[in-house]
Amino acid sequence: MTPLRFSRKAILSVSLALACVTATHAQSNTGTILGTVQDDTGAAIPGATVTIRNLGTGETRTATSDSSGVYNVPNLQIGHYSITIAHDGFTSAQIADTELQVAQRATINPVLHVGAISDKVDVIASQTPLLNEASSAVGQVIDTQTVQNVPLNGRNFWQLTQLTPGVSFIQGGQNIASGGTSIRASAVNVNVNGLSPSWTGWYLDGSNITESQLGGTLISPNVDALQEFKVESSNMPADYGHSPTIVNATLKSGTNAYHGTAYEFLRNNAFDAKNYFYVPPAGSTRRNQPLHRNQFGFAVGGPIVKDHTFFFLDLQSTLYTLGQNFDNIVPSAAMRGGNYQGTGITLKDPLTGLAFANNTIPSNRIVPQAQFFLKYLPAANQVRGTVSHAVLTNRLKQQLDQGDIRIDQTLFSKDRLMGRYSITDNHETDPNAFPALGGFPLRSRGQNVVLRETHIFSPKWLTEAQFSYYRSVFFFTSSLQGQNINQQAGIKGLEGLSPDQYQGMPQLSISNYASFTGQSGNYPKQNKIRSWQYVIRSTYTSGKHEIRFGYENFHDTNTYLFGSNSVGTFTFSNSYSGDNFADFLLGYPASALRSYFRQPWGNYVNFQTMYVQDDYKATSKLTINAGLRYEINPFYNGIKGQTSGWNPANGKLVIPSDFSMNAQPGTPYLYSLFSDRIQGSNDLGLPTSIRPAARVNMGPRIGLAYKAEENTVLRAGYGIFYLFPDNNAINNTQNVVPFIASQTLNNNNTPNSANVRVPNLTFGDFYSGQPIVAANTSNSVCSFGYVALSCSQPSLTTMDLRVKNTYAQEYNLAVQHQFGRKISLDVAYVGNRTQHIVQPFQINDPFPGAGTIQTRRPFPQWGTIGLSKYAGNANYNSLQTKFEARAFNGATFLASYTYGACLTDGTFNGQTREQSSNIRYYGPCNYDIKHNFVTSGLYELPFGKGKAFASGASGVVQGLIGNWSLSGVGTMQSGLPFTLTISTDQANTGLGGQRPNLTGRPQMVRKPTCWYYDSRNASCPAGGTDMFTVPAQYTYGNGGSNTMRNDGLVQFDVSVLKKVPFGDTRSLEFRGSFFNVFNHTTFATPVTNIDSSSAGQITSTLNAARSIELAAKIYF
**pLDDT by residue (tens digit) across 219-237?**
888 999 999 999 999 999 9
Average pLDDT of the residues in 441-455: 92
Average pLDDT over residues 298-321: 95
What residues have CB less than 8 Å from 810, skipping those under 6 apart?
A: 193, 234, 235, 244, 717, 718, 719, 720, 721, 830, 831, 832
Tell me, what's the pLDDT at 172?
46
**Predicted pLDDT at 777:** 33
Q: Between the ranges 110-114, 691-695, 892-896, where is the mean pLDDT highest? A: 892-896
The predicted structure's pLDDT at residue 125: 58
Indicate the helix (H) or strand (E) that contains 180: none
Rounded-to-integer distance, Cα 109 and Cα 1002, Å? 59
- How confident is residue 805, by pLDDT bands cut at 50, 70 and 90? confident
- Does 1078 map to a domain? no
Most confident of 9-13, 446-450, 603-607, 739-743: 446-450
66-90 confidence digits (pLDDT tens): 888 899 999 898 889 999 999 887 8
Q: So what's the pLDDT on residue 27?
A: 29
- Indicate the length of the chain as a whole number: 1116
Angle at 456 between CA 454 and CA 457, to 5 degrees: 130
CA 29 to chain centre: 25
Residue 537 has pLDDT above 90, yes or no: yes
Provide mean pLDDT across the span 312-331: 92
Total domains in the chain come to 1
Within-domain flag for 690: no
Average pLDDT for residues 496-514, to the nearest whole number?
A: 75
| 8 Å CB contact between 553 and 367 | no
What is the predicted pLDDT for the residue at 20?
36
**Among the ranges given (412-426, 497-511, 890-904), the one the predictor scored with the smallest mean pLDDT:** 497-511
Q: Could you give the strand order of the β-sheet that contains 49-54, starting from the edge strand earlier in sequence? A: 60-64, 49-54, 79-86, 93-100, 122-124
Within a 13 Å sphere around the CA of 1054, how many CA atoms are in the beta-carbon half?
10
DSSP one-letter code for 9: H
Q: What pLDDT band is residue 362 in, cutting at 50, 70 and 90?
A: very high
The answer to whether position 759 is within a domain reads no
The whole-number average pLDDT for the span 581-605 is: 86
Is 37 within the bounds of a domain? yes
Lowest mean pLDDT of 401-405, 467-471, 722-726, 1087-1091, name the range. Answer: 722-726
Please tell me the distance from the alpha carbon of residue 920 to that of residue 881, in angstroms, as a whole number: 33
| Alpha carbon distance 998, 1003 (integer Å) | 12
- Predicted pLDDT of residue 499: 59
* Residue 306 pLDDT grade (very low, low, confident, very high; cuts 50, 70, 90): very high
**Alpha carbon distance 592, 871 (integer Å):** 38
How high is the pLDDT of residue 1075? 95
Given this model, what pLDDT does residue 662 score?
Answer: 75
Please tell me the predicted confidence (pLDDT) of residue 283: 67
Is the pLDDT at 520 greater than 90? The verdict is no
Amino acid found at 520: S
| 120-129, 273-282, 286-295, 1072-1081: the lowest-pLDDT one | 120-129
199 alpha-carbon distance from chain centroid: 10
At residue 1059, the pLDDT reads 94
| Angle made by CA atoms 656, 561, 670, in degrees to the nearest 5 | 45
pLDDT band at 784 (very low <50, low <70, confident <90, very high): very low
pLDDT for residue 1052 is more than 60: yes
> What letter does residue 1014 receive in the DSSP assignment?
-
pLDDT at position 518, please?
Answer: 60
Determine the Cα angle at 278 with ends 274 and 280, to 5°: 100
If residue 517 lies in a helix (H) or strand (E), which one and from where to where?
A: none
Amino acid at 783: S
Over residues 773-790, mean pLDDT: 36
Cβ burial of 24 (10 Å; 0-12, 13-18, 19+) is middle
Task: Detail the DSSP E strand segments found in 209-306.
Answer: 226-234, 245-251, 259-268, 291-305
> Would residue 96 count as lying in a domain?
yes
What's the pLDDT tens digit per position in 693-713?
A: 766 789 999 999 999 999 999
Please name the residues in contact with 563: beta carbons below 8 A apart, sequence gap of 6 or more.
478, 501, 503, 521, 522, 523, 524, 525, 597, 598
Band (pLDDT 50/70/90 cuts) for residue 789 is very low
Cα distance between residue 811 and residue 311, in whole Å: 41
Listed range (213-217, 493-497, 729-733) with the worst mean pLDDT: 493-497
For 137-141, what is the mean pLDDT?
92
- Contact, 297 vs 7, CB < 8 A? no
Banded pLDDT at 129 (limits 50, 70, 90) = confident
The amino acid that residue 196 corresponds to is: S
Count of CA atoms in the C-beta half-sphere (13 A) of 393: 14
- More confident of the two residues 483 and 213: 483
* pLDDT, mean over the chain: 85
Q: How many CB atoms are located within 10 Å of the residue 378 CB?
A: 18
pLDDT of residue 358: 95
Q: Return d(Cα 196, Cα 192) in angstroms, integer.
A: 8
Cα first-last separation, the chain: 35
Q: Which range, of 38-42, 125-129, 298-302, 739-743, averages the lowest pLDDT?
A: 125-129
Residue 380 has pLDDT above 80, yes or no: yes
What CATH number has the domain bearing residue 71? 2.60.40.10
Pick the range with the lowest mean pLDDT from 565-569, 686-690, 752-756, 820-824: 565-569
The listed range with the strongest mean pLDDT (297-301, 319-323, 600-604, 917-921) is: 297-301
pLDDT at residue 184 tops 60: no
Q: How confident is the model at residue 331 (pLDDT cuts 50, 70, 90)?
A: very high
Say which range, 176-190, 253-267, 975-989, has the weakest mean pLDDT.
Answer: 176-190
Using pLDDT thresholds of 50, 70 and 90, give the confidence band for residue 992: confident
Q: Please, what's the b/e burial string for 418-438 (b: 16 or more CB within 10 A of its CB; e: otherwise)?
A: bebebbbbbbbbbbbbbeebb
| 103, part of any domain | yes
Residue 613: the pLDDT is 97
Among 14-18, 198-202, 245-249, 553-557, where is mean pLDDT lowest? 14-18
Peptide bond into 738 cis (omega under 30): yes
| 1005-1015 per-position pLDDT tens digit | 999 999 999 99
* pLDDT over 60 at 769, yes or no: no
Instruction: Tell me which residue range forms the domain holding 94.
Output: 30-124
Say if residue 677's pLDDT is above 70.
yes
Sign of the Cα pseudo-torsion (509, 515, 518, 519, in order): positive
**pLDDT surpasses 50 at 796:** yes
Q: Record the pTM.
A: 0.86
pLDDT at 25: 31
pLDDT digits (tens, 9 = 90+) for 930-961: 999 999 999 999 998 888 888 888 888 888 89
CB-based burial label for 496 (10 Å; 0-12, 13-18, 19+):
exposed
Full 3-state SS string of 914-932: EHHHHHHHCEECCCCCCEE
Q: Residue 85: inside a domain, yes or no?
A: yes
Q: How far apart are CA 793 and CA 776, in angstroms?
A: 10
Which of the pair, 171 or 909, is modelled with greater confidence? 171
- Tell me the pLDDT band of 369, cut-offs 50, 70 and 90: very high
Per-residue DSSP letter, 635: P
Give me the residues paired with residue 416 across strands.
410, 454
Residue 1091: pLDDT band by 50, 70, 90 thresholds? very high
Among 75, 74, 73, smallest CA distance to 29 is for 75
Q: Could you tell me what percent of the chain has a pLDDT over 70?
A: 88
**Residue 110 resides in a domain:** yes
Residue pair 585/366 in contact by the 8 Å Cβ criterion: yes
The top-scoring range by mean pLDDT among 417-421, 520-524, 743-747 is 417-421
